[in-house]
Amino acid sequence: MAPEARRPAPPALPVAPASEPISVRQFGKYVLVRKLAEGGMAEIFLAKQVGAEGFERNVVVKRMLKHLSGVTDFVGMFLDEARLAARLAHQNIVQIYDLGAADGCYFICMEYLAGEDFSTVLRTAGRRREYVPLNVTVRVIIDAAMGLHFAHEFADEEGKPLKLVHRDISPSNVFVTYQGQVKLLDFGIAKAESRVTNTTAGVVKGKYMYMAPEQARGIGVDRRADIFSLGVSLYEALTNVRPFAHDSDLAILNAVLKGQFTPPRKLRAEIPPELEAVVLKAMATNVEERYQTSAQFAGDLEAFAAGNTSSSGGTQVAMYMRESFGEKRITEKTRIPSLSSLAASGVDVPGFANPLSPRTDPETTVPPLKPKTPAGQLAQAQGETGTMVVQTTAGRSKGLLVAAAVTVGLAGAGFGAYQAFLKPVPPPAPPPERVAKVVDERPDDAPVLVPAQAIDAGLAAAVDTRPPPPPPPPKEPRLVQLSIGDITKVVGKAYGGIAKCFSEHKDDLPSTKGQAKVTFTIVGSGKVTAASSDMSEKPVGRCLEVQVKALKFPANKDKEISLTLPFAYNTQ
């Protein structure tokens, strides 16, 4: 998403120490109930918004990882993007309620949804060797396209289009509720995440399987990149195959850039030709040949649905979700226990009495246990409070499973029912005194041997005077299949030198903000044998080439790899 006029970057928050695993804990004005997932930039929690007179609302809190909360540039973009996303009030976009900071971390609070992300829907059908019905697939993609169109057309209060782009459309970011609603997730997050990666490692980041070719090249993108990604999602839903799937990230990117994939009807012959035509147009490598708006994409799908399916409404989607996931799972994910119910079941909840453990009862304190052993013995080993044993049993209890409006890894997540018992354990009795009797049988006039005398006395045999064994031969380096992750890690370590090139030669740059591209070749040993910049005629370009040539990558299975990386700069 393109931000509005940037506000001054907020100060980076002081990074708090990492917290221990939680069950239920306070986080600012929210109560975090359970950690649901963790990604490259945030942790996601099922949470409760609480108010007066027992008010509770289920929400999802997406908390920025602690180390990123200390990166001022990222925080500024994250907040700008989140502010924009919070203004996208549409039935097909997940609603953001709040944006704030607590415990040294920035966070977003958004609506809680009971359902499954579309990726889970597709995997569930695939495990049964089935396809999601055409009418359901078409309706899900139509609704997602309409949410995209609303965001793409969104304007500020003066009517100026903001030209928002999601940048991370995939089945994982399309959420389907059990009531048949379709919601786009993570609007306003992808660009901020990409900014962190480009700034620190110099490479594009995203779900490579769903990237538009222009996004994979690292150049500017517009709404048509989202249309391409949604077209890839439709392809996958119709065939249960990802069109650009390959063994390595580099092979995936190569297939995306060249538009190499099998037409859908060759994988599933019963796909109607007019539906295949919609997919191919959405996935056109040339942006001018694609749908120019998501509304056009949705319109062609609506026309297909009207003439080829019995019904494509939300009711049919809801019926399929119930048939696919079952009433038990739906009940577990829709009936979220209140905080008082959790406390009554033995979960430690701040501010509630726990009948199974007095630790969280605000009216009760646990008295210290007095050691019964003589002063100093047990206290020195275990502290003045004696010994306390916490016995914890964790299990899965009925009616406590949840789902939330988040991306991957949430299906079937459940609360643990924790029961803690405190009981004193009497300190162990001191071991019986043992006295070792030492008998010195040496004669009174026997000399005391020092090491040199011991050797002279014939004990030299106890000293190993043999030369040390030769060192083992060096091991052959283990060859790897070089991936984007490997490249990112190596380039990231050289970021200081790359940034220095931009700062020392900023007068060479065509603008205060942009990117420079470097094309280089990696051979099997991991060395860079050639590097050329699109600014080679200037000192800044030659500086970048020197930095890239000095990189050392892992020894790999490829004889030669050539790639181009964009290095972003901002000298303002």
CB of 28 closer than 8 Å to CB of 50: no
Tell me the C-alpha distance between 218 and 373, whole Å.
70
- How big is the chain, counted in residues? 572
Residues 6 or more apart in contact with residue 91 via CB below 8 angstroms: 147, 181
Phi then psi for residue 193, to 5 deg, are: -65, -40
- CA 227-92-198 angle, to 5 degrees, is 50
The arrangement of strands across the sheet holding 560-570 comes to 528-533, 513-523, 560-570
CB of 118 closer than 8 Å to CB of 183: no
CB of 346 closer than 8 Å to CB of 418: yes
Place of tokens 């930095």: 547
Place of tokens 């019926």: 319
Tell me the C-alpha distance between 68 and 64, whole Å.
7
Query: What is the residue type of 454?
Result: A
Q: Which helix (H) or strand (E) holds 315?
A: helix 314-334
Query: What is the residue type of 37?
Result: A
Residues 6 or more apart in contact with residue 410 via CB below 8 angstroms: 36, 37, 44, 117, 120, 403, 404
Tell me the C-alpha distance between 369 and 459, whole Å.
56
- CA 206-36-320 angle, to 5 degrees, is 80
Selecting among 168, 186, 249, 486, the annotated active-site residue is 168
CB of 243 closer than 8 Å to CB of 283: yes
Tell me the C-alpha distance between 190 and 172, whole Å.
13
Residues 6 or more apart in contact with residue 96 via CB below 8 angstroms: 82, 85, 86, 108, 109, 110, 111, 188
Whether 168 is a known active-site residue: answer: yes
CB of 103 closer than 8 Å to CB of 28: yes
Tell me the C-alpha distance between 384 and 374, whole Å.
12
Query: What is the residue type of 443?
Result: P
Coil/strand/helix, residue 269: coil
DSSP symbol at 509 = S
Place of tokens 């749908």: 291
Tell me the C-alpha distance between 372 and 389, whole Å.
17
Tell me the C-alpha distance between 375 and 31, whole Å.
43
Tell me the C-alpha distance between 48 and 109, whole Å.
10
Nearest partner of 93 among 115, 110, 118, judged by Cα: 110
Q: Which residues are catalytic?
A: 168
